[in-house]
Amino acid sequence: MTEPSPQSTAGASTTGAEPRTGSQLVKRGLAEMLKGGVIMDVVTPEQARIAEDSGACAVMALERVPADIRVDGGVARMSDPAMIQGIQEAVTIPVMAKARIGHFVEAQILEALGVDYVDESEVLSPADEAHHIDKWAFTVPFVCGATNLGEALRRIAEGACMIRSKGEAGTGNIVEAVRHLRSILGDIRALTQADSTEVFDWAKRLQAPLPLVQEVAATGALPVPLFCAGGIATPADAALAMQLGAQAVFVGSGIFKSDDPAPRAKAIVEATSHFDDPHILAKVSRGLGAPMTGIGMDDLDLRLADRGW
Amino acid sequence: MKVGVLAIQGAFAAHAAVLESIGVAPVEVRRPAHLEGLDGLVLPGGESTTLSMGLDRAGLTDPLRAFVGSGAPVLGTCAGAILLATQCLDGRSDQVQIGALDVVVRRNAFGRQVDSFEVDLEFPALAAGAPPGRSAAPFHGVFIRAPAVEEVGPSVEVLARLEGTPVAVACGSVVATTFHPELAADPRVHEFVLGRSPAGRR
C-alpha cells in the first residue's frame, strides 16, 4: 500500500490506541481484498444468491442492469433503498451500489445504508456537469470509472479508492474496456520512463495533480487498485482484462442477460482466478450457452463513457 | 526460502510484496503443483466464500490441508484465518475449514466496511526482533470487515488481543490474524511466522 495522501491524515494520527474508521488505508484495503475476484451486477436477492453461490467476491446492487438502462432511456438514478437492503440481507459478501456522478446526497444515503463501496457511476445519469463527489468527506470508500490516466488520477485526487475502466456498459462488447485499460496502463509505462523535468509536462497534459503524477512515475502503478468494467460477457473477456493488467473484474449485464447465468457466472469467476492458464480457460468456456447479445460501437446512440469530467 | 501465497482471490499481491521486502521469494499458488518445494505458505484475506469455492474447484483443498499439516510455517490473515479455523459462524454451510487451528471464528463480526478500522495492537511475541530488554513496538492492525475469534481451544496460543478478543492466534507453526499485517508496511508478523519451527519456537 502507498501512503495515504495528505488530505486523509489531516488532523488525525494513523498510530494510536483509538480505532480509526474511514482512513485511506482502510478504504483502499477493501479494494485489495477484492483483487482476483468478480463483482457482479444483481437486481434481485435471488440473483445476489446466484452470484454468491458462483463465487463472486462482491455484488453491485442496482434496479436495472446497464443493458436495460440503455434500452429504457430516461433518467437513471440510485436504486430504492429497500431493494439494496434486500440484497444486503441475502448475501454475506460485500454489497456495492451506484450513485450518480456528483450526487453526493445519493452517496450519503448509500453510506447510511451501510453499503460497502459506492460506485460513482457514468451508467446512471449525471447529476452535476462539472463536479464529481468530494469522496474524502465519506467513511464509505468509492470506486470511479476512468477512460485514461488523467481521469483516473483526478478521481483519486477527489478521494476514489479504486479505479475501474468505464468500458461501454450494457453492450457486451469488450473493445472499449480494452481501449481504456491500454490507455491507462500504457501511459503509466511511458510515464515511468519520463525524467523529472518531463513529469511536469505529463501533469499538464493529463490535467492531473503533480504529486500523484510523480507518485505514478516513481512506482509504475496507480496508488489504488485498477479493476476492469464495461462489456465483459465471457470467461475469455475476463481473462483478457486480467492479462492486460486489471486486478479484478466487474461484470454487469454479461451474466444475467445471458441464456444460463449460474454456469456463466461460475466460469467467469474461475477464468478470473486462472486468467493466465489457457487450459483452464478452455475447460471453463465450454458449453455455457449463448452470451448476451453484443452491440457494435458504431450502432450506439449513447456513449456512457463520455460521462464524467 | 520460497514461500507460497494462495492466489485464488484476495490480497495476495500485498503479501507477495511484503515477502519480497524481507528477501523471500513469493510463489503464487493456484494449483496443487504450485505447492511443491515451498518452505511456507500464506493464506491471504479476500472473501472466504470465494476462496473456499476456488480451492474446491482447483482441487486444492486436500493438498493445502496436507501442506498446512506438514509443519511448515503458515500464516492466514482474515479470510485465511477463517479457512484455518475448525469452525466458522455466519458463513456458508459448505465452506472449507482446513481445521489447523482449534478456534471458532465469526465472519464480519465487526460490521460492514464503514465499521472497518485501524488501531495499534500490543503483540508481545514480536519482541524477539526488538533490542534486548525492550518490549515490542505496537503493531498497526488494519481490520477490514474482519472476523472475530470467539472460542479458543487448549492447543491454541493467543498472541495478541483487542479489548480482550483474540486477534492473533497460533498452534505450532500455524499462525492466524484477523487483521491485515500485509497492509501495515511492517514485515514483523511475516518474519515472526517464517521464523517459527514445527517444534513451536516460543
- Evaluate if residue B159 carries a pLDDT over 50: yes
**Structural domain count, chain B:** 1
* Least confident segment among A58-72, A90-104, A127-141, A189-203: A58-72
Q: Is B114 on the interface with A (CB under 8 A)?
A: yes
B159: enclosing H helix or E strand: strand B157-162
Please give the mean pLDDT across all residues of chain B. 93
pLDDT of residue B145: 97
Whole-model pTM: value is 0.94
For the residues B121-149, what does the mean pLDDT come to? Answer: 86
For the residues B156-170, what does the mean pLDDT come to? Answer: 97
Q: Specify whether the CB–CB gap between A89 and A114 falls below 8 A.
A: no
**Residue B182 falls in the annotated catalytic set:** yes
Question: What are the cell numbers at A230?
Answer: 464495461
Q: Which of chain A's residues have a Cβ under 8 Å away from the Cβ of B137?
A: none
| DSSP codes of every residue in A190-227 | HHHTS-HHHHHHHHHHHT--HHHHHHHHHHSS-SS-EE
**Residue B118 falls in the annotated catalytic set:** no
pLDDT of residue A121: 97
Between CA A13 and CA A10 the distance in angstroms is 8
- Evaluate if residue A17 carries a pLDDT over 80: no
Is the torsion defined by CA of B181, B187, B192, B194 positive or negative?
Answer: positive
Considering only the beta carbons, identify the residue of A14, A270, A277 that sits closest to B57: A270
pLDDT of residue B196: 78
In a domain, B199, yes or no: no
Q: Which of B78, B88, B171, B190 is catalytic?
A: B78
Summarised one tens digit per residue, pLDDT across range B13-46 is 999 999 999 999 999 999 999 999 999 999 999 9
Q: Residue ranges of the alpha helices (H) in chain B? A: 12-21, 48-57, 61-68, 79-84, 188-194
Between CA A19 and CA A11 the distance in angstroms is 15
In a domain, B94, yes or no: yes
pLDDT of residue A7: 43
Summarised one tens digit per residue, pLDDT across range A176-220 is 999 999 999 999 999 999 999 999 999 999 999 999 999 999 999
pLDDT of residue A16: 57
Question: Which carries the bigger pLDDT value, residue A53 or residue A10?
Answer: A53
In a domain, B75, yes or no: yes
Three-state DSSP at A44 gives coil
Interface contacts (A, B; CB < 8 Å): 141
pLDDT of residue A137: 98
- Evaluate if residue A8 carries a pLDDT over 60: no
For the residues A262-278, what does the mean pLDDT come to? Answer: 98
Side chain identity at residue B44, one-letter code = P
What is the DSSP secondary structure assignment for residue A292, as one 8-state letter? Answer: P
In a domain, B74, yes or no: yes
What is the DSSP secondary structure assignment for residue B133, as one 8-state letter? Answer: T
- Evaluate if residue A260 carries a pLDDT over 90: yes
In a domain, B115, yes or no: yes
- Evaluate if residue A277 carries a pLDDT over 50: yes
Contact A35 B180 (CB under 8 A): no
The neighbour count for residue B102, using CB atoms within 10 Å, is: 16
- Evaluate if residue B113 carries a pLDDT over 80: yes
Summarised one tens digit per residue, pLDDT across range A220-238 is 999 999 999 999 999 999 9
In a domain, B201, yes or no: no
B198: confidence class by pLDDT, cuts 50, 70, 90: very low
Phi, psi of B37 (to 5 degrees): 80, 10
Q: Specify whether the CB–CB gap between B60 and B160 falls below 8 A.
A: no
In a domain, B173, yes or no: yes
Considering only the beta carbons, identify the residue of B10, B12, B50 that sits closest to A55: B50
Compute the nearest-CA separation of A205 from chain B (Å).
31
B135: confidence class by pLDDT, cuts 50, 70, 90: confident
- Evaluate if residue A175 carries a pLDDT over 90: yes
Q: Specify whether the CB–CB gap between A27 and B145 falls below 8 A.
A: no
Summarised one tens digit per residue, pLDDT across range B42-93 is 999 999 999 999 999 999 999 999 999 999 999 999 999 999 999 999 988 8
Contact B144 A33 (CB under 8 A): yes
pLDDT of residue B129: 59
Compute the nearest-CA separation of A238 from chain B (Å).
14
Expressed as residue numbers, the domain containing B25 is: 2-194
* Least confident segment among A144-153, A276-285, B129-138, B164-173: B129-138
Q: Which of chain A's residues have a Cβ under 8 Å away from the Cβ of B107?
A: 92
- Evaluate if residue A13 carries a pLDDT over 50: no
Supply the CATH number for residue B130's domain: 3.40.50.880
In a domain, B200, yes or no: no
CA distances from A148 to A98, A165, A224, A305 (A): 21, 8, 15, 11
